[in-house]
Amino acid sequence: SKYQIAVVVGSLRKDSFNRQLATALARLAPPEFSFTQVRIDDLPLYNQDDDAQQSAPVLRLKSEIAAAQGLLFVTPEYNRSIPGVLKNAIDQASRPYGKSAWAGKPAGVIGTSVGAIGTALAQQHLRNVLAYLDVPTLGQPEAFVHAKEGLFDASGNIGEASRAFLQGWMDKYVDWVKRHA
Note whether 18 binds ligand FNR by CB under 6 A.
Answer: yes
Nearest distance from residue 117's CB to ligand FNR, in Å? 6
Total residues binding ligand FNR (CB under 6 A): 14
Q: CB pairs under 8 A, 24+ apart, for 83-86?
A: 83/10, 83/11, 85/10, 85/11, 85/12, 85/40, 85/41, 86/8, 86/10, 86/40, 86/126
Nearest distance from residue 109's CB to ligand FNR, in Å? 14
Residue 18 vs 92, nearer CB to ligand FNR: 18
Contact pick of 115, 146, 157, 167 for ligand FNR (by CB under 6 A)? 115
Contact at 8 Å (CB) between 168 and 141?
yes
Nearest distance from residue 141's CB to ligand FNR, in Å? 19
Nearest distance from residue 80's CB to ligand FNR, in Å? 5
* Site for ligand FNR, residues 65 to 94, rule: CB under 6 A: 76-80
Q: How many residues does the chain have?
A: 181
User: Segment contacting ligand FNR (CB under 6 A): 11-19, 23-31, 62-70, 138-146?
Assistant: 11-19
Note whether 113 binds ligand FNR by CB under 6 A.
Answer: yes
What values do phi and psi take at 8, rounded to 5?
-110, 115
Alpha-carbon distance 76 to 93, whole Å?
20
For 128, other C-beta atoms within 10 Å of its C-beta total 10
Helix axes 17-26, 160-180, angle to 10 degrees: 70
Contact footprint for ligand FNR (CB under 6 A): 11, 13, 16-18, 76-80, 113-115, 147
